[in-house]
Chain A
Amino acid sequence: MSTRAKELITIAIIAVFSVVIYILKITGVMTGIEFSGTVSTIIIIAIFLALLVILIRTLRGHLVDRRTVFLFIAFSVALPLLMNISQKITVSGEVEQVYNAVIDLQPGSRVLVSFDYDPASAPELQPMAESFLRLCFMRDLKVIVMGLWPQGPQQAELAMSTILEDDEMKAKNIKYGIDYVNLGYQAGNEFVVQRMGSDFKSMFRKDYSGRAYDDLPLVKNVKNFSNIDYSFNLSAGYPGTQEWVQVAVDRYGLKMGGGNTAVQAPMMYTYLNAGQLEGLLGGMSGGAEFEYLANFTGKATKYMLSQSFAHMVVVAFIIIGNAAFFRSGREKKL
C-alpha cells in the first residue's frame, strides 16, 4: 500500500471515530469514559514495554524518527486524562510562602490579583487562579482583580463563575463591589502599573462592567498600592511578573506573590531570592501543591497525572537518545 493511501485511511479512521463518539455524546449514550484500575495499569505497562522495545531497537542500531517521539507524547498526555489515580504531593517552600502570606492576612484585607495571561496559557494558570481566589474568599479577604492582557479580566470572570459553582463558596455570599471587584483591562503594560502607583482610579475609571470606580465600595478608598495588603500576579509573559516587580515592588513596595507558567518561573527565582517576590507558584505542579495546601481538588491536581506521565516519557526518550549516542560512540572507537 502506498504511503498516500495509508495517510488517507488514517484520516478516515480518525474522522469516523470522532463522528461516532460525537453522536454518542450528543445523544447522551456516552457520558464519559473512565478506565478502571486494571485497565489503567495495563495501559501503563504497555507504554512502558513499548519504550523498552524502542530502547532495545536503538541499542541494535535502529534510531527512531522524531515522529515516534511525537506519537508517544500524544498518548502519554491523552490517556491519563481518562484515568483515575491519585498521587502524593510534596509542597515546596515557595508555594508555601504564598499560602502563608494569604493565611496571615487579617480578614477584610485587600488582595490585588492581576490576570496577565490569555486563553492559550489557561491550562497552567487557570487552576491557580481558581484555587487562589477560592482561598482568599475562604479567608474573607477582599479581592480586586485587573488585567494587563486584554483577555485577562475575562479569565478572571471564568474563574469566578467556576468557583461560585461550589456550595461552600455559595454559602460565603460573595457580593460584587464589596467582596470582589473586576477592574477590567487597561492597555499600556508596565506604565499602567506605574500610574497605579500614584492613582488606581486614573487607570480604571470604570470597572469591567462599566460601573464608576467611586461607586464600588471596595475600591472607593483604594488610592494606590499602599492600600493593598498583598498582591498576586498570574503571568504568562510580557507584561507580567517581571514588570510588576520592577515597578510595583521595587518602586512602590507592594507585597507580591507570583503565579507563573513554568517557563517563566526559573527567572522569577532571582526575584524570589532577592526578596522581591513573596512566594511563587510555578507551573502546573505549583498549582497542584497550592491546591493541596488549600485543601481543595482542582484541575491542577487532576491534570498532574498526565503531567507526570509526559515527564516520564520525555525522560525515557532522553535515556534512549543517550543510548543511541553511546552506541555510535563505541562503534567509532572500534
Chain B
Amino acid sequence: MRREIPLLITGIVGIVFVLQYFIPHFPFNRMNAWFSDWFSIVAAFAIWLGALNLMKISFQKVFRRKSDWGYAVVIIMSFLLMAVVGFAEGKGFRDQGTAFDWLFQFVYTPLSATMFAILAFFVASASYRAFRARNFEATLLLLAAFLVMLGRVPTGDVLTGFMPEGMRLSAVASWIMNFPQTAGQRAIMIGIALGLVSTSLRIILGIERSHLGGGD
C-alpha cells in the first residue's frame, strides 16, 4: 500500500494536469495557478528539512572534530545569524535599512556576484583547453566560437573593415546565430520536448517509479 497510493496519486494528478490545458472551465482553469501556490508553500515547509540537515551535518563535524571543523562553526554561525536577524525583523525584513538588508547588500551580494564573476576566468580557461582543432567536429566548435566571439565586439569589424558590409565579422556572427545556431537549438528543443513527454508519460503511468523509493 505504501507504494500503491503514491503511484495512484501521481497517475491521477498527472492526467488531470494534462487535461487542464484543454479545459477552460472552472476548476481546471485555476489548476496551474493553484499548483504554483501549493508548490511554493510545500517548498517553504520543506526547507526546514534541508536546514536541519545542514545543521546536523555541521554539528557532527564539530563534535567529531573532523578536519576543518572550524569552518563548520562558521557555517552554523552565519546560518543562525541570518535566520535570527530575518525572523526578528518581521515581515518587513527586506526593507532598506534593516540589518537583514545590510547583510544582504554587503555580505551576500559581493559573495554571490563574485562567484558569478569568476565564471569569466573559467570560460577563458575552458576555451583555452577545449577549443583545439582535434577533429572536424571540434574544429567546427572552435570556428563558430571564434567567429561569434570576434563578431560580437567592435574589434571584429575593425579587423574585417576592408570587406563589404554584409561579409564583415559582425554580419557573419549574426548569420551564424540566426541560422545554423537556430537549427541546432531547434533540434535540441524538439528532442527535449519528445524526451520530456515520454519521461512524463512513464512517470504518470507508473512505469518509471524509482523516484518514489522502496516499498517498505
Contacts and interface: CB of A to CB of B under 8 A. Distances in A.
A312 B37 contact: no
Given A266-B181, A269-B181, A92 B170 contact: yes
Contacts of B116: 120-121
A77 B112 CA distance: 19
Contacts of B145: 318
Interface residues of A, number: 52
Interface of A: 66, 69-70, 72-74, 77, 87-90, 92-94, 119-121, 150, 187-191, 194-195, 262, 265-267, 269-270, 272-273, 283, 285, 304, 307-308, 310-315, 317-318, 320-322, 324-326
A270 B186 contact: yes
B185 A269 contact: yes
A301 to B, nearest CB: 10
A295 B44 CA distance: 47
Contact of B132 (A66, A73, A120, A321): A321
B133 interface: yes
A322 B32 CA distance: 51
A194 B181 contact: no
Contacts of A194: 32-33
B124 A313 contact: yes
A311 B150 contact: yes
B17 interface: no
Contact of B189 (A188, A191, A270, A285): A270
A318 B127 contact: yes
Interface residues on B, range: 35 or more
20 contacts: A66-B125, A70-B124, A88-B154, A88-B158, A94-B174, A119-B109, A150-B94, A188-B37, A191-B37, A262-B152, A266-B177, A269-B181, A311-B149, A313-B124, A315-B149, A317-B128, A318-B142, A321-B128, A321-B132, A324-B132
Given A69-B125, A270-B186, A304 B153 contact: yes
A189 to B, nearest CB: 7
Nearest to A307: B153
Nearest to A328: B132
Given A270-B185, A318-B146, A73 B120 contact: yes
A120 B109 CA distance: 7
Given A66-B128, A89-B154, A314-B128, 8 more contacts: A87-B155, A93-B174, A188-B33, A190-B36, A269-B177, A270-B185, A317-B124, A318-B146
Q: Which of A66, A307, A313 has the most CB of B within 10 A?
A: A66
B178 A73 contact: no
Contacts of A283: 152
B159 to A, nearest CB: 10
Contacts of B170: 90, 92
